[in-house]
Structure 1
Amino acid sequence: MRIILTLGFLWAGLLVHAQLSHPKASPFQEIIQEVGLSQVRVRYSRPAVKGREVFGNLVPYGRIWRVGANESTKISLSHNMTLGGEAVPAGTYALYAFPEASVWNIVIHKDTTLWGDGRDAYKRENDLVRFAVAPESWPEVQENFLITFDQITHNGMQMLLIWDRTCVRIPIAVNTISLMDQRIEKALGNEPTPQTYYEVARYLQEEGRDYQRALEYINKSLEGGDTYYFYRVKSLILEGLGAYSEAIRAAKRSEALAAAEGKDEFVRMNQQNIKKWTGYLKE
Protein backbone atom coordinates (compact mmCIF):
# COMPACT_ATOMS: atom_id res chain seq x y z
CA MET A 1 0.00 0.00 0.00
CA ARG A 2 2.87 2.32 0.93
CA ILE A 3 4.50 1.64 -2.45
CA ILE A 4 1.27 2.48 -4.29
CA LEU A 5 0.86 5.75 -2.36
CA THR A 6 4.49 6.68 -2.99
CA LEU A 7 4.12 6.04 -6.72
CA GLY A 8 0.92 8.07 -6.74
CA PHE A 9 2.63 11.07 -5.15
CA LEU A 10 5.53 10.78 -7.59
CA TRP A 11 3.14 10.70 -10.54
CA ALA A 12 1.24 13.72 -9.24
CA GLY A 13 4.53 15.58 -8.87
CA LEU A 14 5.54 14.70 -12.41
CA LEU A 15 2.19 16.03 -13.72
CA VAL A 16 2.70 19.35 -11.94
CA HIS A 17 6.21 19.74 -13.36
CA ALA A 18 5.04 18.64 -16.80
CA GLN A 19 2.60 21.57 -17.17
CA LEU A 20 3.69 23.71 -20.09
CA SER A 21 3.60 27.50 -20.02
CA HIS A 22 2.52 28.76 -23.42
CA PRO A 23 1.72 32.12 -25.03
CA LYS A 24 -1.82 33.32 -24.43
CA ALA A 25 -4.16 33.88 -27.36
CA SER A 26 -5.41 37.01 -25.56
CA PRO A 27 -2.38 38.56 -23.83
CA PHE A 28 -2.78 40.49 -20.58
CA GLN A 29 -2.22 44.24 -20.37
CA GLU A 30 -2.24 46.76 -17.56
CA ILE A 31 -2.58 50.47 -18.29
CA ILE A 32 -2.28 53.30 -15.77
CA GLN A 33 -3.38 56.78 -16.77
CA GLU A 34 -2.92 59.92 -14.70
CA VAL A 35 -5.70 62.51 -14.80
CA GLY A 36 -5.12 65.63 -12.75
CA LEU A 37 -3.96 64.40 -9.35
CA SER A 38 -5.67 61.03 -9.77
CA GLN A 39 -5.06 57.71 -11.51
CA VAL A 40 -7.16 55.18 -13.38
CA ARG A 41 -5.75 51.67 -13.70
CA VAL A 42 -7.21 49.04 -16.03
CA ARG A 43 -6.21 45.35 -16.18
CA TYR A 44 -7.59 43.33 -19.08
CA SER A 45 -6.80 40.75 -21.75
CA ARG A 46 -6.69 41.52 -25.48
CA PRO A 47 -8.44 39.08 -27.83
CA ALA A 48 -7.83 39.36 -31.59
CA VAL A 49 -10.26 39.68 -34.49
CA LYS A 50 -8.62 36.89 -36.55
CA GLY A 51 -10.94 37.55 -39.48
CA ARG A 52 -14.09 37.00 -37.43
CA GLU A 53 -17.22 39.12 -37.22
CA VAL A 54 -16.91 40.51 -33.71
CA PHE A 55 -19.92 42.46 -32.43
CA GLY A 56 -23.22 40.74 -32.99
CA ASN A 57 -21.48 37.39 -33.54
CA LEU A 58 -18.33 36.57 -31.54
CA VAL A 59 -19.63 39.02 -28.93
CA PRO A 60 -23.43 38.54 -29.11
CA TYR A 61 -25.73 41.51 -28.83
CA GLY A 62 -27.74 41.79 -25.62
CA ARG A 63 -25.50 39.49 -23.57
CA ILE A 64 -22.99 40.40 -20.91
CA TRP A 65 -19.39 40.81 -22.12
CA ARG A 66 -16.28 40.88 -19.92
CA VAL A 67 -14.81 43.76 -22.01
CA GLY A 68 -11.85 41.67 -23.08
CA ALA A 69 -11.01 38.01 -22.54
CA ASN A 70 -10.04 35.58 -19.77
CA GLU A 71 -10.66 37.11 -16.35
CA SER A 72 -13.11 39.99 -16.00
CA THR A 73 -11.63 43.38 -16.76
CA LYS A 74 -10.82 45.37 -13.61
CA ILE A 75 -10.84 49.15 -13.28
CA SER A 76 -9.32 50.91 -10.26
CA LEU A 77 -9.90 54.57 -9.36
CA SER A 78 -7.55 56.35 -6.94
CA HIS A 79 -10.18 59.01 -6.12
CA ASN A 80 -13.91 59.49 -6.45
CA MET A 81 -14.83 60.10 -10.10
CA THR A 82 -17.79 60.12 -12.44
CA LEU A 83 -17.95 57.63 -15.31
CA GLY A 84 -20.59 58.20 -17.95
CA GLY A 85 -22.06 60.88 -15.68
CA GLU A 86 -22.47 58.44 -12.76
CA ALA A 87 -20.66 58.85 -9.43
CA VAL A 88 -18.16 56.06 -8.71
CA PRO A 89 -16.24 56.05 -5.40
CA ALA A 90 -12.52 55.29 -5.29
CA GLY A 91 -11.91 51.55 -5.45
CA THR A 92 -11.61 48.54 -7.74
CA TYR A 93 -14.50 47.20 -9.81
CA ALA A 94 -15.26 44.76 -12.60
CA LEU A 95 -16.04 46.43 -15.92
CA TYR A 96 -18.77 44.79 -18.03
CA ALA A 97 -20.76 45.77 -21.10
CA PHE A 98 -24.00 44.74 -22.75
CA PRO A 99 -23.39 45.64 -26.42
CA GLU A 100 -26.18 46.33 -28.89
CA ALA A 101 -26.00 47.63 -32.46
CA SER A 102 -26.99 51.19 -31.53
CA VAL A 103 -26.27 51.45 -27.79
CA TRP A 104 -24.05 49.81 -25.19
CA ASN A 105 -24.88 49.56 -21.50
CA ILE A 106 -21.67 49.89 -19.50
CA VAL A 107 -21.62 48.33 -16.03
CA ILE A 108 -19.39 49.14 -13.08
CA HIS A 109 -19.80 46.02 -10.96
CA LYS A 110 -18.91 45.58 -7.29
CA ASP A 111 -18.19 41.83 -7.40
CA THR A 112 -14.63 41.37 -8.73
CA THR A 113 -14.43 37.64 -7.93
CA LEU A 114 -16.33 36.30 -10.96
CA TRP A 115 -14.38 34.54 -13.71
CA GLY A 116 -14.93 36.21 -17.06
CA ASP A 117 -18.43 37.60 -17.36
CA GLY A 118 -19.80 35.39 -14.62
CA ARG A 119 -22.79 34.30 -16.73
CA ASP A 120 -25.25 32.68 -14.28
CA ALA A 121 -23.23 33.88 -11.27
CA TYR A 122 -23.53 37.54 -12.35
CA LYS A 123 -26.13 39.39 -10.24
CA ARG A 124 -27.46 42.73 -11.37
CA GLU A 125 -27.98 43.81 -7.75
CA ASN A 126 -24.18 43.97 -7.47
CA ASP A 127 -23.99 46.62 -10.20
CA LEU A 128 -22.76 49.88 -8.73
CA VAL A 129 -23.84 51.94 -11.74
CA ARG A 130 -25.04 51.43 -15.31
CA PHE A 131 -25.00 53.97 -18.11
CA ALA A 132 -25.61 53.98 -21.84
CA VAL A 133 -23.09 55.01 -24.53
CA ALA A 134 -23.42 55.00 -28.30
CA PRO A 135 -20.87 52.99 -30.31
CA GLU A 136 -19.20 54.66 -33.27
CA SER A 137 -17.40 53.31 -36.30
CA TRP A 138 -13.58 53.18 -36.23
CA PRO A 139 -11.73 54.08 -39.45
CA GLU A 140 -9.61 50.93 -39.58
CA VAL A 141 -9.55 47.44 -38.13
CA GLN A 142 -8.20 47.35 -34.59
CA GLU A 143 -6.94 43.76 -34.53
CA ASN A 144 -6.40 43.29 -30.79
CA PHE A 145 -9.01 44.71 -28.44
CA LEU A 146 -7.68 47.98 -27.05
CA ILE A 147 -8.50 50.10 -24.01
CA THR A 148 -6.86 53.50 -24.09
CA PHE A 149 -7.36 57.11 -22.94
CA ASP A 150 -7.63 60.37 -24.86
CA GLN A 151 -8.63 64.04 -24.50
CA ILE A 152 -6.90 64.16 -21.12
CA THR A 153 -7.21 67.38 -19.10
CA HIS A 154 -6.67 68.23 -15.44
CA ASN A 155 -10.32 67.41 -14.77
CA GLY A 156 -11.24 64.51 -17.00
CA MET A 157 -10.66 62.36 -20.06
CA GLN A 158 -12.24 59.72 -22.25
CA MET A 159 -11.68 55.99 -21.94
CA LEU A 160 -11.87 54.31 -25.36
CA LEU A 161 -12.83 50.69 -25.96
CA ILE A 162 -11.76 49.82 -29.52
CA TRP A 163 -12.06 46.52 -31.36
CA ASP A 164 -12.46 45.67 -35.02
CA ARG A 165 -14.17 48.74 -36.49
CA THR A 166 -16.09 49.75 -33.36
CA CYS A 167 -15.21 52.33 -30.72
CA VAL A 168 -17.01 53.21 -27.50
CA ARG A 169 -16.06 56.35 -25.57
CA ILE A 170 -16.64 56.55 -21.82
CA PRO A 171 -16.32 60.05 -20.30
CA ILE A 172 -14.47 60.21 -16.99
CA ALA A 173 -14.44 63.28 -14.74
CA VAL A 174 -12.57 63.98 -11.51
CA ASN A 175 -12.85 66.97 -9.19
CA THR A 176 -9.23 68.07 -9.45
CA ILE A 177 -10.18 71.66 -8.57
CA SER A 178 -11.28 70.60 -5.09
CA LEU A 179 -8.20 68.41 -4.62
CA MET A 180 -5.89 71.21 -5.80
CA ASP A 181 -7.55 73.83 -3.57
CA GLN A 182 -6.79 71.61 -0.57
CA ARG A 183 -3.17 71.23 -1.67
CA ILE A 184 -2.78 74.93 -2.37
CA GLU A 185 -4.12 75.88 1.06
CA LYS A 186 -1.71 73.44 2.70
CA ALA A 187 1.29 74.58 0.62
CA LEU A 188 0.68 78.29 1.21
CA GLY A 189 0.29 77.70 4.93
CA ASN A 190 3.65 75.95 5.25
CA GLU A 191 6.42 78.53 4.62
CA PRO A 192 5.90 78.93 0.85
CA THR A 193 8.90 79.66 -1.37
CA PRO A 194 8.96 81.68 -4.60
CA GLN A 195 8.66 78.36 -6.44
CA THR A 196 5.52 77.53 -4.43
CA TYR A 197 3.87 80.81 -5.40
CA TYR A 198 4.89 80.24 -9.03
CA GLU A 199 3.40 76.75 -9.13
CA VAL A 200 0.10 77.96 -7.66
CA ALA A 201 -0.05 80.88 -10.10
CA ARG A 202 0.79 78.62 -13.04
CA TYR A 203 -1.94 76.13 -12.08
CA LEU A 204 -4.56 78.90 -11.82
CA GLN A 205 -3.44 80.32 -15.17
CA GLU A 206 -3.57 76.93 -16.89
CA GLU A 207 -7.07 76.37 -15.51
CA GLY A 208 -8.19 79.83 -16.61
CA ARG A 209 -9.52 80.66 -13.14
CA ASP A 210 -9.01 83.47 -10.64
CA TYR A 211 -6.48 85.44 -12.68
CA GLN A 212 -6.32 88.23 -10.11
CA ARG A 213 -5.25 85.83 -7.36
CA ALA A 214 -2.80 84.21 -9.80
CA LEU A 215 -1.26 87.64 -10.47
CA GLU A 216 -0.77 88.22 -6.74
CA TYR A 217 1.03 84.90 -6.40
CA ILE A 218 3.26 85.34 -9.44
CA ASN A 219 4.28 88.78 -8.16
CA LYS A 220 5.20 87.18 -4.83
CA SER A 221 7.29 84.60 -6.69
CA LEU A 222 9.13 87.38 -8.52
CA GLU A 223 10.06 89.01 -5.20
CA GLY A 224 12.36 86.06 -4.60
CA GLY A 225 13.31 85.03 -8.13
CA ASP A 226 13.88 86.56 -11.55
CA THR A 227 13.47 83.82 -14.14
CA TYR A 228 12.19 83.60 -17.68
CA TYR A 229 9.45 81.10 -16.78
CA PHE A 230 8.15 83.24 -13.90
CA TYR A 231 7.79 86.19 -16.29
CA ARG A 232 6.28 84.01 -19.00
CA VAL A 233 3.49 82.86 -16.68
CA LYS A 234 2.98 86.46 -15.56
CA SER A 235 2.54 87.50 -19.20
CA LEU A 236 -0.09 84.78 -19.72
CA ILE A 237 -1.95 85.79 -16.56
CA LEU A 238 -2.00 89.41 -17.73
CA GLU A 239 -3.33 88.22 -21.09
CA GLY A 240 -6.16 86.51 -19.20
CA LEU A 241 -6.91 89.82 -17.49
CA GLY A 242 -6.90 91.63 -20.84
CA ALA A 243 -3.91 93.77 -19.78
CA TYR A 244 -2.03 93.42 -23.07
CA SER A 245 0.46 96.28 -22.61
CA GLU A 246 1.60 94.83 -19.28
CA ALA A 247 1.61 91.34 -20.79
CA ILE A 248 3.98 92.54 -23.52
CA ARG A 249 6.37 94.04 -20.94
CA ALA A 250 6.43 90.77 -18.97
CA ALA A 251 6.94 88.76 -22.16
CA LYS A 252 9.85 90.98 -23.24
CA ARG A 253 11.50 90.43 -19.87
CA SER A 254 10.92 86.67 -20.21
CA GLU A 255 12.35 86.75 -23.73
CA ALA A 256 15.53 88.52 -22.61
CA LEU A 257 16.12 86.15 -19.68
CA ALA A 258 15.41 83.11 -21.87
CA ALA A 259 17.85 84.33 -24.54
CA ALA A 260 20.56 84.75 -21.88
CA GLU A 261 20.13 81.10 -20.92
CA GLY A 262 19.90 79.80 -24.48
CA LYS A 263 16.23 78.78 -24.14
CA ASP A 264 15.35 79.28 -27.79
CA GLU A 265 11.87 77.76 -27.55
CA PHE A 266 10.85 80.29 -24.87
CA VAL A 267 12.32 83.11 -26.94
CA ARG A 268 10.12 82.07 -29.87
CA MET A 269 6.99 81.61 -27.74
CA ASN A 270 7.41 85.04 -26.18
CA GLN A 271 8.02 86.67 -29.55
CA GLN A 272 4.86 85.09 -30.95
CA ASN A 273 2.79 86.34 -28.03
CA ILE A 274 4.28 89.82 -28.21
CA LYS A 275 3.32 89.98 -31.88
CA LYS A 276 -0.21 88.73 -31.12
CA TRP A 277 -0.83 91.13 -28.23
CA THR A 278 0.62 94.08 -30.14
CA GLY A 279 -1.94 93.31 -32.82
CA TYR A 280 -4.72 93.41 -30.22
CA LEU A 281 -3.62 96.88 -29.13
CA LYS A 282 -3.83 98.16 -32.74
CA GLU A 283 -7.40 96.99 -33.25
Structure 2
Amino acid sequence: MPILTDLWLLIIIVTITGIIAGYIDAAIQCIMLKVWGSKKSASILQLHHFTFSIGAFLAPLLVSPFYSGDDDICSDSTDDNNEPVCLGIGDNNSILTPFLISSAFIASVFILMIWLYFVDITEKIKEDNQESADEREEDSFRDLWQYFIPVILFYFCIVSGENVYQSNIFSYAACKVGWESGKASILNSIFWAGFGIGRGSGIFFSRFLRPSTYIIIDLIFCAATATFLSIYPTNEIMLWIGSFTYGLGIATLYSCGISYSHELTNVSGKWIVTFGIGNAIGAMSMPILGTGIG
Protein backbone atom coordinates (compact mmCIF):
# COMPACT_ATOMS: atom_id res chain seq x y z
CA MET A 1 0.00 0.00 0.00
CA PRO A 2 2.80 2.54 0.56
CA ILE A 3 3.70 2.33 -3.14
CA LEU A 4 0.18 3.17 -4.34
CA THR A 5 -0.37 6.69 -5.63
CA ASP A 6 -3.91 6.34 -6.97
CA LEU A 7 -6.60 6.93 -4.33
CA TRP A 8 -9.22 4.65 -5.86
CA LEU A 9 -6.76 1.81 -6.29
CA LEU A 10 -5.83 2.22 -2.63
CA ILE A 11 -9.52 2.11 -1.67
CA ILE A 12 -10.01 -1.10 -3.67
CA ILE A 13 -6.97 -2.79 -2.12
CA VAL A 14 -7.98 -1.78 1.41
CA THR A 15 -11.55 -2.98 0.80
CA ILE A 16 -10.43 -6.37 -0.51
CA THR A 17 -8.05 -6.72 2.43
CA GLY A 18 -10.85 -5.94 4.87
CA ILE A 19 -13.24 -8.43 3.26
CA ILE A 20 -10.70 -11.24 3.34
CA ALA A 21 -9.68 -10.46 6.93
CA GLY A 22 -13.35 -10.40 7.95
CA TYR A 23 -14.00 -13.82 6.42
CA ILE A 24 -10.95 -15.30 8.12
CA ASP A 25 -11.81 -13.83 11.52
CA ALA A 26 -15.43 -14.98 11.34
CA ALA A 27 -14.45 -18.48 10.20
CA ILE A 28 -11.92 -18.91 13.01
CA GLN A 29 -14.45 -17.84 15.64
CA CYS A 30 -17.10 -20.16 14.17
CA ILE A 31 -14.72 -23.09 14.48
CA MET A 32 -13.90 -22.21 18.09
CA LEU A 33 -17.55 -21.92 19.11
CA LYS A 34 -18.60 -25.08 17.31
CA VAL A 35 -15.70 -27.26 18.47
CA TRP A 36 -15.28 -26.11 22.08
CA GLY A 37 -18.83 -25.00 22.95
CA SER A 38 -19.95 -21.97 24.94
CA LYS A 39 -17.93 -22.62 28.11
CA LYS A 40 -14.56 -23.89 26.89
CA SER A 41 -14.48 -21.50 23.95
CA ALA A 42 -14.57 -18.40 26.19
CA SER A 43 -10.88 -18.47 27.09
CA ILE A 44 -9.94 -19.63 23.58
CA LEU A 45 -11.76 -16.66 22.08
CA GLN A 46 -9.84 -14.41 24.45
CA LEU A 47 -6.61 -16.02 23.24
CA HIS A 48 -7.62 -15.45 19.62
CA HIS A 49 -8.25 -11.76 20.21
CA PHE A 50 -5.14 -11.49 22.38
CA THR A 51 -2.95 -12.35 19.38
CA PHE A 52 -4.46 -9.39 17.55
CA SER A 53 -3.45 -7.06 20.36
CA ILE A 54 0.13 -8.34 20.19
CA GLY A 55 0.37 -7.25 16.57
CA ALA A 56 -1.33 -3.94 17.30
CA PHE A 57 1.09 -3.27 20.15
CA LEU A 58 4.16 -4.12 18.07
CA ALA A 59 3.06 -2.17 14.97
CA PRO A 60 3.84 1.35 16.28
CA LEU A 61 7.14 0.09 17.69
CA LEU A 62 7.97 -1.45 14.32
CA VAL A 63 7.19 1.74 12.43
CA SER A 64 8.78 4.17 14.89
CA PRO A 65 12.47 3.51 13.95
CA PHE A 66 11.68 4.37 10.34
CA TYR A 67 10.42 7.85 11.18
CA SER A 68 13.00 10.46 10.31
CA GLY A 69 13.62 13.02 12.99
CA ASP A 70 13.95 15.65 10.27
CA ASP A 71 10.26 15.50 9.37
CA ASP A 72 7.95 17.22 11.81
CA ILE A 73 4.49 15.75 12.14
CA CYS A 74 2.94 19.23 12.29
CA SER A 75 3.69 22.39 10.35
CA ASP A 76 4.09 25.91 11.66
CA SER A 77 0.81 26.98 10.03
CA THR A 78 -2.53 26.69 11.79
CA ASP A 79 -6.09 25.89 10.79
CA ASP A 80 -9.27 27.91 11.40
CA ASN A 81 -9.23 26.86 15.06
CA ASN A 82 -5.63 28.05 15.49
CA GLU A 83 -4.41 24.44 15.75
CA PRO A 84 -1.21 23.15 14.05
CA VAL A 85 -1.76 21.56 10.65
CA CYS A 86 -0.57 17.95 10.51
CA LEU A 87 1.39 17.01 7.41
CA GLY A 88 1.66 13.25 7.80
CA ILE A 89 4.85 11.21 7.84
CA GLY A 90 6.91 13.35 5.46
CA ASP A 91 9.05 12.40 2.46
CA ASN A 92 12.13 11.29 4.39
CA ASN A 93 10.42 8.43 6.21
CA SER A 94 10.93 4.88 4.93
CA ILE A 95 7.41 3.63 5.60
CA LEU A 96 7.76 0.85 3.01
CA THR A 97 10.21 -1.16 5.14
CA PRO A 98 7.82 -2.02 8.01
CA PHE A 99 5.17 -2.93 5.43
CA LEU A 100 7.56 -5.39 3.83
CA ILE A 101 8.37 -6.91 7.22
CA SER A 102 4.66 -7.32 7.96
CA SER A 103 4.03 -8.76 4.49
CA ALA A 104 6.70 -11.41 5.01
CA PHE A 105 5.07 -12.45 8.27
CA ILE A 106 1.62 -12.60 6.65
CA ALA A 107 3.00 -14.76 3.84
CA SER A 108 4.44 -17.17 6.42
CA VAL A 109 1.08 -17.42 8.18
CA PHE A 110 -0.64 -18.01 4.84
CA ILE A 111 1.63 -20.96 4.11
CA LEU A 112 0.97 -22.37 7.58
CA MET A 113 -2.82 -22.06 7.13
CA ILE A 114 -2.66 -23.85 3.78
CA TRP A 115 -0.73 -26.70 5.41
CA LEU A 116 -3.24 -26.94 8.28
CA TYR A 117 -6.06 -27.13 5.75
CA PHE A 118 -4.52 -30.04 3.89
CA VAL A 119 -3.83 -32.00 7.09
CA ASP A 120 -7.53 -31.48 8.02
CA ILE A 121 -6.71 -30.02 11.41
CA THR A 122 -10.33 -29.02 12.14
CA GLU A 123 -11.63 -32.59 12.05
CA LYS A 124 -8.79 -33.78 14.24
CA ILE A 125 -9.61 -31.14 16.86
CA LYS A 126 -13.30 -32.10 16.73
CA GLU A 127 -12.46 -35.73 17.42
CA ASP A 128 -10.51 -34.73 20.52
CA ASN A 129 -13.27 -32.45 21.85
CA GLN A 130 -16.49 -34.30 21.09
CA GLU A 131 -17.77 -33.87 24.65
CA SER A 132 -17.70 -30.07 24.43
CA ALA A 133 -18.78 -29.60 20.81
CA ASP A 134 -21.89 -27.48 20.30
CA GLU A 135 -24.53 -29.50 18.46
CA ARG A 136 -27.44 -27.10 18.98
CA GLU A 137 -29.50 -26.05 16.00
CA GLU A 138 -29.41 -22.36 15.15
CA ASP A 139 -32.56 -20.46 16.03
CA SER A 140 -34.49 -18.67 13.31
CA PHE A 141 -34.09 -14.98 12.61
CA ARG A 142 -37.71 -14.44 13.59
CA ASP A 143 -36.88 -15.58 17.11
CA LEU A 144 -33.64 -13.64 17.40
CA TRP A 145 -33.98 -10.33 15.56
CA GLN A 146 -35.02 -8.43 18.69
CA TYR A 147 -31.84 -9.62 20.39
CA PHE A 148 -29.59 -9.03 17.41
CA ILE A 149 -30.46 -5.32 17.12
CA PRO A 150 -28.96 -4.37 20.53
CA VAL A 151 -26.05 -6.75 19.85
CA ILE A 152 -25.24 -4.85 16.65
CA LEU A 153 -25.47 -1.56 18.54
CA PHE A 154 -23.23 -2.97 21.27
CA TYR A 155 -20.53 -3.91 18.77
CA PHE A 156 -20.93 -0.64 16.95
CA CYS A 157 -20.16 1.21 20.18
CA ILE A 158 -17.20 -0.86 21.35
CA VAL A 159 -15.50 -1.08 17.95
CA SER A 160 -16.02 2.59 17.18
CA GLY A 161 -14.78 3.52 20.65
CA GLU A 162 -11.67 1.44 20.16
CA ASN A 163 -10.99 2.65 16.62
CA VAL A 164 -11.56 6.32 17.30
CA TYR A 165 -9.21 6.30 20.28
CA GLN A 166 -6.36 4.31 18.80
CA SER A 167 -6.62 6.06 15.42
CA ASN A 168 -6.54 9.58 16.83
CA ILE A 169 -4.50 9.42 20.02
CA PHE A 170 -1.22 9.77 18.10
CA SER A 171 -2.38 12.85 16.17
CA TYR A 172 -4.03 14.29 19.26
CA ALA A 173 -0.88 13.97 21.35
CA ALA A 174 1.37 15.31 18.57
CA CYS A 175 -0.77 18.16 17.26
CA LYS A 176 -3.08 19.11 20.12
CA VAL A 177 -0.87 18.51 23.14
CA GLY A 178 2.39 19.24 21.32
CA TRP A 179 4.29 16.01 21.94
CA GLU A 180 7.10 14.82 19.68
CA SER A 181 6.11 12.11 17.20
CA GLY A 182 8.21 9.45 18.94
CA LYS A 183 6.59 10.14 22.29
CA ALA A 184 3.12 10.17 20.72
CA SER A 185 3.87 6.82 19.07
CA ILE A 186 4.78 5.35 22.45
CA LEU A 187 1.48 6.63 23.86
CA ASN A 188 -0.30 4.68 21.14
CA SER A 189 1.68 1.60 22.12
CA ILE A 190 0.68 2.15 25.76
CA PHE A 191 -2.95 1.89 24.71
CA TRP A 192 -2.21 -1.37 22.93
CA ALA A 193 -0.21 -2.59 25.91
CA GLY A 194 -3.26 -2.15 28.13
CA PHE A 195 -5.36 -3.70 25.40
CA GLY A 196 -3.05 -6.71 25.21
CA ILE A 197 -2.87 -7.15 28.99
CA GLY A 198 -6.66 -6.97 29.13
CA ARG A 199 -7.07 -9.68 26.54
CA GLY A 200 -4.21 -11.73 27.93
CA SER A 201 -5.68 -11.69 31.42
CA GLY A 202 -9.06 -12.48 29.87
CA ILE A 203 -7.73 -15.90 28.90
CA PHE A 204 -7.50 -16.66 32.62
CA PHE A 205 -10.38 -14.65 34.12
CA SER A 206 -12.93 -15.79 31.54
CA ARG A 207 -12.73 -19.25 33.09
CA PHE A 208 -14.14 -17.93 36.36
CA LEU A 209 -16.28 -14.93 35.40
CA ARG A 210 -19.51 -15.14 33.49
CA PRO A 211 -19.44 -13.12 30.26
CA SER A 212 -22.18 -10.80 31.55
CA THR A 213 -20.17 -10.03 34.71
CA TYR A 214 -17.04 -9.44 32.66
CA ILE A 215 -18.90 -7.03 30.37
CA ILE A 216 -20.13 -4.96 33.33
CA ILE A 217 -16.60 -4.70 34.77
CA ASP A 218 -15.21 -3.64 31.39
CA LEU A 219 -17.88 -0.98 30.91
CA ILE A 220 -17.12 0.49 34.34
CA PHE A 221 -13.43 0.71 33.40
CA CYS A 222 -14.22 2.42 30.09
CA ALA A 223 -16.72 4.87 31.55
CA ALA A 224 -14.42 5.90 34.40
CA THR A 225 -11.45 6.39 32.08
CA ALA A 226 -13.44 8.38 29.53
CA THR A 227 -14.74 10.63 32.31
CA PHE A 228 -11.29 11.45 33.66
CA LEU A 229 -9.87 11.99 30.17
CA SER A 230 -12.69 14.44 29.47
CA ILE A 231 -11.93 16.35 32.66
CA TYR A 232 -8.14 16.40 32.13
CA PRO A 233 -7.73 16.20 28.33
CA THR A 234 -4.16 17.54 28.13
CA ASN A 235 -2.73 16.29 31.41
CA GLU A 236 0.31 14.14 30.57
CA ILE A 237 -0.06 11.72 33.46
CA MET A 238 -3.76 11.29 32.72
CA LEU A 239 -3.01 10.58 29.06
CA TRP A 240 -0.54 7.84 29.98
CA ILE A 241 -2.78 6.26 32.61
CA GLY A 242 -5.99 6.81 30.66
CA SER A 243 -4.63 5.29 27.46
CA PHE A 244 -3.57 2.19 29.35
CA THR A 245 -6.78 1.75 31.37
CA TYR A 246 -9.05 2.49 28.41
CA GLY A 247 -7.30 -0.20 26.40
CA LEU A 248 -7.49 -2.52 29.40
CA GLY A 249 -11.22 -1.98 29.81
CA ILE A 250 -12.32 -2.19 26.20
CA ALA A 251 -10.10 -5.17 25.36
CA THR A 252 -12.37 -8.07 26.31
CA LEU A 253 -15.75 -6.61 25.41
CA TYR A 254 -15.70 -8.10 21.91
CA SER A 255 -15.03 -11.70 22.86
CA CYS A 256 -17.23 -11.51 25.97
CA GLY A 257 -20.12 -10.36 23.80
CA ILE A 258 -19.69 -13.41 21.58
CA SER A 259 -19.46 -15.76 24.56
CA TYR A 260 -22.53 -14.19 26.18
CA SER A 261 -24.54 -14.54 22.96
CA HIS A 262 -23.40 -18.13 22.47
CA GLU A 263 -24.67 -19.00 25.94
CA LEU A 264 -28.13 -17.86 24.88
CA THR A 265 -28.21 -19.29 21.37
CA ASN A 266 -25.97 -21.03 18.88
CA VAL A 267 -24.05 -18.38 16.93
CA SER A 268 -21.36 -20.68 15.54
CA GLY A 269 -22.91 -20.65 12.08
CA LYS A 270 -24.53 -17.97 9.98
CA TRP A 271 -25.37 -15.75 12.96
CA ILE A 272 -21.68 -15.00 13.51
CA VAL A 273 -22.29 -12.28 10.92
CA THR A 274 -24.25 -10.32 13.54
CA PHE A 275 -21.08 -9.33 15.35
CA GLY A 276 -19.39 -8.48 12.07
CA ILE A 277 -22.18 -6.10 11.08
CA GLY A 278 -21.81 -4.01 14.22
CA ASN A 279 -18.04 -4.26 13.92
CA ALA A 280 -18.05 -3.05 10.32
CA ILE A 281 -20.46 -0.17 10.92
CA GLY A 282 -18.42 1.05 13.87
CA ALA A 283 -15.10 0.64 12.06
CA MET A 284 -16.32 2.46 8.93
CA SER A 285 -18.35 5.31 10.35
CA MET A 286 -16.75 6.43 13.59
CA PRO A 287 -13.22 7.18 12.32
CA ILE A 288 -14.82 9.72 9.96
CA LEU A 289 -17.28 11.08 12.51
CA GLY A 290 -14.76 11.04 15.33
CA THR A 291 -12.12 12.85 13.30
CA GLY A 292 -14.64 15.38 12.07
CA ILE A 293 -15.98 16.07 15.55
CA GLY A 294 -12.47 16.37 16.99
TM range (shorter): under 0.3
More helix per residue: 2
More strand per residue: 1
TM-score by length of structure 1 reads: 0.20
Q: Computing the radius of gyration over CA atoms, which structure comes out larger, 1 or 2?
A: 1
Task: Name which structure has the greater RCO, CA cutoff 8 Å, separation 6+.
Answer: 2
TM-score by length of structure 2 reads: 0.19
